[in-house]
Structure 1
């Protein structure tokens, strides 16, 4: 059974709003054992909507539609659905009660636009919206199911969890599907593919492998689909057991999570504390750490030492070392990491100093040169990297590598 997702809205196509609905729907359908074969984002155009509905019906069993159900004139999904299904809009008393209930205390009185929310295609099955005014419309038409939902994420998620996915399970069942992610660091994608060529070729036909690269790391995703989840789990684990000897030291985790969240568990479990000193990463490492709920249990603070004066006066970096070696150097970054650990009283620390770009490089230290250091009370480790010429990527890769080095030190 195949499902297509259609998201409607000019705002999605011009980048004004990011389409998070498709990703969320795809993830939750996958967890329920359903296959999403295609995602379409289209404009608020009758022609585009009619075309995508007709095309989708020839390829899939279910079409899930979000967007275009608001009360304003640019929301044309309902009228277009009427044209596609050769029907008309009719007043639905239950939906009107929902609209009145939802807007009670929010508006002084219902205007014509509010009242139009209670109009629905005559031949659809209405699924009432418990958290908004736009009703959900279910059509069973010529062997294809069409479901039109609001584009507001909270409303879409509520109806998907409470109505749509349960209905799809009742009608179509749902095979077991198992994914396992292995997080690998510091191996380029092409190099990793070469290392794993024999192992990948020997994978059973029931298991598929995907490479999901990001700066500084790659997610290997093993997927299996079948009737018995336990059998699938065991089959994937057998392949992971064969994978580990090939790339063991480069495996960060056997889960799909950020390096920051891995470190958060590690520091919390070991009851350790952490501080950061950042120059070229500008606080991004601290941001990644503090985005993890509960990080206050182990993260004590950060110094964004962008200027040399802060490196000297706050972190205690020697003025002569900055003059002799430059701010982007091994002596300076090691003094930064030792200084922040001592001044903030942490068990561990990490520091960065580099040339993020696009300007500021030299023949000796081109753009993308970054020194990273980590330390505890007994050991300091520093490494030099060149991450390229793109500023945003340099900051991201330096931040990720700093966290990887920290994990290596902590163990």
Structure 2
């Protein structure tokens, strides 16, 4: 078996270092490279500075066979990557007519005049292989150096992603011998990483050598990523399926989906399969639960609507929560959140009603009900279930965590005769 192909990612731009732009390109590139068996060994962010670019490239070439660079290919004076690469590879810029044709076509399409700086984007280092950019005016560039491939692409995410998908990944698969690699993702919620690791420890310890498990925690749970590397002997797909089946028997209640499926997608599939409808009554989450649900295509099949009952007046007037109940128990209480879930279900004529009410912070807490005290509820024709959450983090984390927990409450609370 040939040696593993390693990659480095270099992102270029002062805006990344200042924190004005979040580097999402590296995360996406790492995922895509991993899927074809290329291991990312290092990610480096550097400024728009010629020497910084040259130094980063020299270091990367000393230890990686694939170097992917993003950023610095725009038409303005601070975009220095192309000129720096021409100098680094000891070549000159020359007009690449197909790239100029693409740039001109974009300006014609939008009926806009093309400036000289836009025309200059079609001048590329003579020694590079141009990479077409169907969504923008900056072509990519491919260089071969001492057996390594160096690819420079725009920093605009949608342009870079199209370029990678259309050209870069197929090129890498053709140029290098790459091992077969398969990932299986098991989505869990409601169990902490350490407790999860303890529950599956024996299974993990007995995994075959060509399978590796990664714990990827998020706000309310853990993604388990089981990665298989072909050793030329095993049926890798069957081997992975067998191991997924084994771990499922150990933690069945914690698993809500397999693959890259979000909790809101999984809940939507559950409701759609059972022809059930849902409405939400939200206080502390301010509509985030409804937003998550409606972010899923096709959610109109099961989601009817939402009431953001931030004030007690809305809880009373729209959801039918009695003033006496609020006076006796308060807005943040089991009794109130149950009444909200029941009220929105009746108001919007749905099978299921969800509700949230709590103190997200940073202010508003009391000794009896500190910040992070949150109640969530689920109501259907058979039952009303409430649960108290104590999660005193930042305001936004409290809200996000609550939204995930109330969605999970749907999965946990559907009666057997309804859930099937």
Q: TM-score, normalised by structure 1?
A: 0.95
**Segments of 4+ moved more than 4 angstroms:** 105-109, 227-230
Which residue of the partner structure matches residue 221 of structure 1? 225
Which residue of the partner structure matches residue 393 of structure 1? 397
In the alignment, structure 1 residue 142 sits paired with structure 2 residue 146: yes
Q: 2:59 aligns with which of 52, 55, 59?
A: 55
SS in 2 for 1:12: helix
1:204/1:390 Cα in 2 relative to 1: closer, same or farther (>3 Å)? same
**Cα displacement string for residues 202-259 of structure 1 (whole angstroms, at most 9, x for unaligned residues):** 2222111111111221111111111669722222222223323322222222233211
Distance across 1 between alignment mates of 2:278 and 2:112:
53
Unaligned runs of 5+ in 1: none
CA deviation after TM superposition for structure 1 residue 181, in Å = 1.4
Question: How do 1:78-227 residues align onto structure 2 when only pairs under 5 Å count?
Answer: 78-104=82-108, 106=110, 109-226=113-230
1:242/1:105 Cα in 2 relative to 1: closer, same or farther (>3 Å)? closer
Which residue of the partner structure matches residue 304 of structure 2? 300
In the alignment, structure 1 residue 237 sits paired with structure 2 residue 241: yes
In the alignment, structure 1 residue 26 sits paired with structure 2 residue 26: no
Which residue of the partner structure matches residue 262 of structure 2? 258
Task: Give yes or no for contact 2:131–2:140 (8 Å, CA) kept in 1.
Answer: yes
CA RMSD of aligned residues (A): 1.8
CA deviation after TM superposition for structure 1 residue 24, in Å = 2.5
**Cα displacement string for residues 344-363 of structure 1 (whole angstroms, at most 9, x for unaligned residues):** 00001111111111111112
The answer to which of 293-302 and 388-397 deviates more is 388-397
Distance across 1 between alignment mates of 2:46 and 2:357:
44
Q: TM-score, normalised by structure 2?
A: 0.93
Task: Give yes or no for contact 1:278–1:304 (8 Å, CA) kept in 2.
Answer: yes
Unaligned runs of 5+ in 2: none
**Cα displacement string for residues 159-202 of structure 1 (whole angstroms, at most 9, x for unaligned residues):** 22222211111111432211111122221222222222222222
1:229/1:333 Cα in 2 relative to 1: closer, same or farther (>3 Å)? farther
Task: Give yes or no for contact 1:4–1:56 (8 Å, CA) kept in 2.
Answer: yes
Distance across 2 between alignment mates of 1:63 and 1:188:
36
Task: Give yes or no for contact 2:8–2:43 (8 Å, CA) kept in 1.
Answer: yes
CA deviation after TM superposition for structure 1 residue 118, in Å = 2.2
